[in-house]
Structures are given as C-alpha cells and as structure tokens.
C-alpha cells in the first residue's frame, strides 16, 4: 500500500458507541493504507491517572500523543475523539480527518444547569480560552466527519467552519432474523450513559404517567453507566451489559426509546432497528434522520414526556403496528450495516488522499 497512515482515538472501548465507531474507522484506514501507528487512550492512561481536571487531561492526551508522533511522516492521519491540536500541527502536510459527533453544546449546558446541582462538567467545551485550544484540531482538519446532518450543521455554525464537512452515519450489526423472537410481554428499553442531556428524565416521567393508567401493563429497562439512579422510580436498570449480551436487551423489548435532548447520533436507535424493533426518537438525536415518522417508528420533540407517553401507549394498544414498523425498521437498518459504513470510510480516505 503506497500511503502511510496514523490512527488515534480517545475511545477504544468496544462496549461503547464511540469505541465501535473508532474500531471500524481504524479497519477502514488499514484496508486502504499502511496503518503504522495506532494510539488509544490505554497507551497513555497511566500518565493521566492523577489529573482530575477534564480540560487538563484532554490537552495532556494531545501532548503525549504528539510526543509519540513527532518523528513520524504520514500521508493521512485519522482522529476520533479530541482534542488533537498539537498532533495535527506536527503531522502536517499529512491529510487530517477528524471525527466529530458534536451535540448542541448550548442545549447540553442548559440541561445540566436545569437538572443537576453542579452544572455542566466539561469546562473545555464552555470556557472560551479552553474551547479555542480544544477546537483547533477541528479547524486544522482537511475533512471533518460527522454522523448526522444535525451535527454537521451545528459545528459549522459554532466555529464558522469553512473546512470540508462530510456526513457518514454510524452503523450496526445485523442479528440473524431467526433469532428475533417477540418478547413475552410489552416492554420498553433505552440504552445510554446517564446524563442530563440524554433525556432519560423525560422518559421516566412519561413512564410514571403511563403507570397511572390501569389498562396499561408493561416494563421498562434502562441500561448504561449511572442508570441505577432510575431504579428508585420503578425502572429496571443495569449499570453495564457487555457488548456480546446487549442483544438480549433489544430482543426483550417491544419498543426502543431514545429521548435525547441533544446527541450527535445515537447508535442504539439503529441497533434496535436491526433487531426489528420500532423506535421512538427525539429530534435532538442525529439518528432521527434515518427514521421516517410513522414508518420505522416516531420522531418526537425534545423535553416532551407527554409525547413519549403517547407514542409508547400507541404501540402498547396497537401490537400490529409494533410488528409493521419493526419490519420496516429492520429493512432500514440493513442499509447501514458496519460493512457498508466501512466502505464509505474507505472511499472518503481515498478521496482525501487524492485531492
């Protein structure tokens, strides 16, 4: 392979959405170039263990990664996670691709300030000086890769970005159709780390309203780090389920809900669709761009527990619609498998190298 490449990420955990994305980006890069250096957060995490400040830790990651790369010459460098400002500087004239699944930061901040006592925890994204340093690698990229039009539009406006921006959605793995059994009873599921901007509070509020209806019967499960908080509200919650067991969550549910106030994509939406489950997804999640309202599920406003309640109730009362939209959801997911998405990454890499 004539081209030499570098891949660096701050998320290589395959049990997370970001880890899955970086895994397939790395594979795509290795398939069309000679991938000589792979840097993950595990390579330098011991150097950062005593650093508690989120901004200092992020900028030190960039510094230590740059030390590893300072004598390396690459044709293309692919970065997932951030910031990598120093790295992008020392690797030039290499072509730089930066993956950026940016949510709406202003919405995130407002949710944390409304719902938590400590407010928004990531000062590197809100302090003007830190943000200027943090966003340098974005402005220095040849291509900024986003998983949704929503995310792309936001970052372009946020920093008056003039770089080329490309939208490639995230992907999913397709389970065997023979394994897609109907759940024994009506159940709702959500997967995601507990955070104010994930909108879980609105899902739980909706569920509490539903339980007041004597004719409604069902269960709800929320999976993700910190979600044991919701157990006190009568929710089945699991802090963590490994990637090879997460399929059971999708199999056991009738409907999947993504109540995000703001999120660059939301891979579980697509994964649930692959399991032939209809979805209820807010306008705040980039994955809603893959859903046609009333066909694979429903798209609803953000911060609206009544809308969540109404759509869950609709599926509860119309089991044939669960099946119809579930089958449509599977057909849509088949167009976004990780193999297909990897091919899109490969094409992008080669386009960038040949520009």
Number of structural domains the chain divides into: 2
Residue 121's domain spans which residues?
A: 4-171+337-353
- 8 Å CB contact between 77 and 3: no
Q: Are residues 164 and 15 in the same domain?
A: yes
What is residue 96's predicted lDDT score, i.e. its pLDDT? Answer: 97
- 8 Å CB contact between 204 and 257: no
| pLDDT category of residue 12 using cuts at 50, 70 and 90 | confident
Q: Alpha-carbon torsion 57, 70, 78, 139, what sign?
A: positive
Task: Give the 3-state DSSP-derived string for the chain, with helices as H, strands as E and coil as C.
Answer: CCCEEEEEECCCCCCCHHHHHHHHHHHHHHHHCEEEEEECHHHCHHHHCCCCCHHHHHHHHHHHHHHHHCCCCCCEEEEECCCCHHHHHHHCCCEEEEECCCCCHHHHHHHHHHHCCCCCCCHHHCCHHHHHHHCHHHHCCCEEEECCHHHHHHHHHHCCCCCEEEECCCCECCCCHHHCCCCCCCEEEEECCCCHHHCHHHHHHHHHHHCCCCCCCCEEEEECCCHHHHHHHCCEEECCCCHHHHHHHHHHCCEEEECCCCECCCHHHHHHHHCCCCEEEECCEHHHHHCCECCCEEEECCCCHHHHHHHHHHHHHCHHHHHHHHHHHHHHHHHHEHHHHHHHHHHHHHHHHCC
Q: Are residues 105 and 22 in the same domain?
A: yes
- Give the span between the Cα atoms of 172 and 271, in whole angstroms: 5
Q: Which two tokens stand for residue 45?
A: 């995490």
Task: Measure CA 292 to chain center.
Answer: 20
CATH of the domain at 109: 3.40.50.2000
What is residue 47's predicted lDDT score, i.e. its pLDDT? Answer: 58
Q: Are residues 201 and 271 in the same domain?
A: yes
- Give the span between the Cα atoms of 20 and 172, in whole angstroms: 9
Q: Are residues 278 and 148 in the same domain?
A: no
What is residue 178's predicted lDDT score, i.e. its pLDDT? Answer: 83
Q: Are residues 237 and 329 in the same domain?
A: yes
In tens, the pLDDT along 53-80 reads 667 777 888 888 898 898 899 999 999 9
Q: Are residues 12 and 157 in the same domain?
A: yes
User: Any idea which residue has 């500087």 for tokens?
Assistant: 89
Q: Are residues 163 and 236 in the same domain?
A: no
- Give the span between the Cα atoms of 143 and 161, in whole angstroms: 11
Give CA separation, 285 vs 151, 203, 339, in Å: 9, 14, 23
Give CA separation, 81 vs 7, 58, 119, 350, in Å: 11, 10, 23, 21
Q: Are residues 182 and 329 in the same domain?
A: yes
**Residue bearing the bigger pLDDT, 41 or 184:** 184
Q: What is the mean pLDDT of residues 79-105?
A: 93
Q: Which two tokens stand for residue 122?
A: 């990531």
Q: Are residues 193 and 284 in the same domain?
A: yes
- Give the span between the Cα atoms of 21 and 10, in whole angstroms: 12
Q: Are residues 46 and 190 in the same domain?
A: no
With a cut of 70, say whether residue 320 has pLDDT above it.
yes
In tens, the pLDDT along 139-173 reads 999 999 999 999 999 999 999 999 999 999 999 99
In tens, the pLDDT along 253-307 reads 999 999 999 999 999 999 999 999 999 999 999 999 999 999 999 999 999 999 9
What is residue 272's predicted lDDT score, i.e. its pLDDT? Answer: 97
- Give the span between the Cα atoms of 59 and 54, in whole angstroms: 9
Beta bridge partners, 191, equal 223
Q: Are residues 140 and 229 in the same domain?
A: no
What is residue 164's predicted lDDT score, i.e. its pLDDT? Answer: 95
What are the residues whose beta carbons fall under 8 Å from the beta carbon of 125, sequence distance 6 or more?
105, 131, 134
Q: Are residues 137 and 247 in the same domain?
A: no
In tens, the pLDDT along 109-137 reads 999 999 988 888 888 888 999 899 989 99
**Residue bearing the bigger pLDDT, 48 or 10:** 10
Q: What is the mean pLDDT of residues 201-208?
A: 96
**Residue bearing the bigger pLDDT, 203 or 49:** 203
Neighbours of 112 (CB within 10 A): 18
């Amino acid at each position: 392979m004539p081209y030499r490449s570098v891949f660096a990420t701050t998320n290589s955990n395959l049990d997370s959405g970001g880890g899955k994305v970086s895994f397939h980006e790395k594979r795509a890069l290795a398939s069309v170039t000679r991938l000589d250096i792979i840097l993950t957060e595990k390579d330098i995490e011991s150097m950062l263990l005593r650093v508690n400040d989120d901004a200092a830790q992020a900028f030190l990651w960039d510094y230590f990664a740059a030390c590893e790369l300072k004598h390396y010459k690459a044709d293309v460098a692919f970065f997932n996670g951030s910031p990598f400002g120093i790295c992008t500087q020392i690797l030039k004239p290499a072509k730089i691709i930066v993956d950026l699944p940016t949510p709406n930061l202003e919405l995130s901040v407002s949710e944390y300030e409304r719902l938590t006592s400590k407010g928004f925890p990531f000062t590197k994204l809100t302090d003007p000086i830190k943000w200027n340093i943090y966003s340098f690698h974005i402005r220095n990229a040849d291509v900024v890769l986003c998983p949704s039009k929503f995310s792309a539009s936001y970052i372009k406006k946020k920093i008056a970005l003039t770089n080329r921006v490309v939208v490639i959605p995230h992907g999913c793995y397709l389970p065997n159709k023979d394994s897609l059994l109907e759940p024994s009873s009506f159940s709702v599921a959500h997967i995601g780390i507990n955070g104010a901007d994930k909108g879980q509070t609105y899902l739980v509020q909706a569920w509490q309203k539903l339980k007041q209806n004597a004719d409604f019967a069902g269960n709800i499960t929320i999976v993700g780090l910190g979600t044991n908080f919701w157990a006190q509200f009568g929710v089945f919650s699991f802090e963590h389920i490994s990637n090879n067991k997460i399929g059971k969550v999708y199999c056991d549910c009738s409907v999947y809900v993504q109540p995000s106030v703001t999120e660059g994509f939301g891979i579980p939406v697509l994964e649930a669709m692959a399991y032939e489950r209809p979805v209820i997804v807010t306008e705040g999640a980039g994955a809603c761009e893959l859903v046609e309202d009333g066909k694979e599920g429903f798209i609803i406003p953000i911060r609206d527990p009544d809308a969540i309640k109404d759509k869950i109730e609709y599926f509860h009362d119309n089991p044939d619609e669960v099946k119809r939209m579930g089958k449509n959801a599977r057909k849509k997911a088949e167009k976004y498998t990780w193999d297909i998405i990897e091919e899109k990454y490969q094409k992008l890499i080669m386009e960038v190298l040949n520009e």
